[in-house]
Structure 1
Amino acid sequence: MDLALLTLLHLLVFVYWLGGDLGVFYSSTILTNAKQSAAARVAAAQVLAQVDMAPRTAMILTLPTGLTLAAVKGWLILGPFSLALIWVAGLIWLALAWVLHVRHLSPTSILRRADLIIRWVVIAALAILALNLWPNTSGLPLFLKIKCGVLAATILCGLMIRRALVRFGPAFGRLVQDGASPEIDAQIARALDESRPLVVTIWLLLLVAAFLGLAKPL
């Protein structure tokens, strides 16, 4: 793949990840606004769910685009077969994410558990790269090792956000079915308030990763 095109693709992944997250964050403020009607908040939730697929997609594509870019620039020793496997695995994971989004499967479904396992495996693999424990990575630039650690941290933050939002689904279901009430509003606000610091942390981590990728200071 042409280096300029690959670099552009990797940058677009960052843009849609951060930009999509900003859209989701703004939509969440409408959900917690008790002055808004229940219908407006339901509409905001629908927008949030759709826009959220942009950062979800971008996060997954960060791996194949970033690893391919590192291999093309000679920072990471990966042959064509290894890169092909990485892209196939990434696209399978992406397809799984979209199936989960479209079908709205329960948290206990096999596919959701598979997605969770994949995320923990990716976190572990990135941590191994960051700690220079992977074979043939002794010459990996320090800035790239830090980027691997940063990406692992963003995925971990995403899992923590999921845990913080466990109470959101039932509370929002009650909002749709029964309408707003002070109790329901408080439950929704509490769940989203717990997740927002983690979202901001992801933004900061993405900015660090972007700076390292552009400046290559180490």
Structure 2
Amino acid sequence: MNLNELDVLRWVHILAMVYWLGGEWGVFQTSYNIVNRKLSLEERRRHLETAYRIDILARTGIILLLPLGLHMGHIYGFQPYGGGFLVGMWISFSAWLCLTWSAFLARESDLGIRLTKIDEALRYVLIPLIFIVGISSLLGHGPLEVGPGTLWYPTKLTLYGFALIIGLGLRFVMRAWTVRFRRLAEGPNPAEEAALEREIVLARLMAYVYWITISGVCFLGATKPF
């Protein structure tokens, strides 16, 4: 069997996309029971735990997609930075992935919440950078080396950046749930229950847009239409 670097990267890229889309669907379905007042608090907390365990795979997929895309983009000739840039990129994203998993493992503690906030803060830097690179490249100003027939690549990158914004909003909701369930464990709290129900309505609306965006990212990568 003859495997090359691009084949392996493409395979991992597909897996990351599957876990991203599938994981978000799993969290969406679990959320119905998390906010269901008819269930006991303990039962709802079990569903929240399930949601977190599903979501970590989606978060892992989200993080991996960008370095995988940039690495394959270099092989295709869309982005000119290889060598040391790719090594540094993979080290940086590996550190980010370790941070994300550390926040997951400590999710019920104050440390976990602090780590989650750091995770979120990284996106405040990354998202604008993605938009700058994607849009400027679409306008012909680089740094990506694209043209007619390859414009799908910066378009896909820009759409990925938009998906990160929605994902960040969903992260805010899940982080808030951790705090709210702590308060609910202290006794009945109508204000926290009402906040959960408001947040889940917003989160579900964001989730619909999220799935459409993720599907768009998949479509561009699969069909390369322009």
State whether TM-score is above 0.5. Answer: yes
Residue in structure 2 matched with residue 153 of structure 1 by the alignment:
162
Tell me the residue number matched to 1:39.
42
Q: How far did 1:30 drift?
A: 0.6
Q: Which of the pair has the greater relative contact order for Cα pairs under 8 Å at 6+ separation?
A: 1
Kindly indicate whether the alpha-carbon contact (under 8 Å) linking 1:165 and 1:192 is maintained by their aligned counterparts in 2: no
Q: For this pair of structures, how many residues does the alignment match?
A: 216
The 1-side partners of 2:209 and 2:194 are apart by 24
Does 121-130 or 135-144 show the bigger shift? 135-144
Correspondence 1:175 to 2:184: yes
Question: Secondary structure of the residue that 2:129 maps to in structure 1?
Answer: helix
Q: Which moved more, 1:31-40 or 1:55-64?
A: 31-40
Question: 1:191 — aligned with what?
Answer: 199
Structure 1 residue 8: Cα displacement: 0.8
Separation in structure 2 between the aligned mates of residue 39 and residue 147 of structure 1, nearest angstrom: 42
Taking every aligned residue pair, what percent have the same amino acid on both sides?
27
After superposition, residues 103-122 of structure 1 pair within 5 angstroms as 103-104=106-107, 105=110, 109=114, 111-122=115-126
CA distance in 1, matches of 2:180, 2:194: 9
User: Is the 8 Å Cα contact of residues 14 and 58 (structure 1) preserved in structure 2?
Assistant: yes
Matches of 2:120 and 2:36, distance apart in 1: 31
> Equivalent residue for 1:7?
10
Partner in structure 2 of residue 139 of structure 1: 146
Q: Which runs of 5+ in 2 are unaligned?
A: none
Contact 2:103 2:113 in 1 (8 A): no
**Aligned-residue CA RMSD (Å):** 2.2
Could you tell me which runs of 5 or more consecutive residues in structure 1 were left unpaired when the two chains were aligned: none
Quick check: 1:21 aligned with 2:20? no
The reply on whether 1:71 has 2:74 as its aligned counterpart is yes
> CA 1:108–1:55 in 2, change beyond 3 Å: closer, same or farther?
closer
Give the Cα–Cα distance (whole angstroms) in 2 for the partners of residues 39 and 137 of structure 1.
Answer: 51
What residue is the counterpart of 1:213 in the other structure? 221
The Cα of 1:164 is off from its aligned counterpart by: 4.7
Output the CA distance in 1 between the equivalents of 2:49 and 2:91: 30
Deviations 1:176-204 (A, max 9, x none): 3325x655432221121121111221111
Match of 1:124 among 115, 123, 128: 128
Distance 2:113 2:179 in 1: 15
Greater Cα offset, 114-123 or 25-34: 114-123
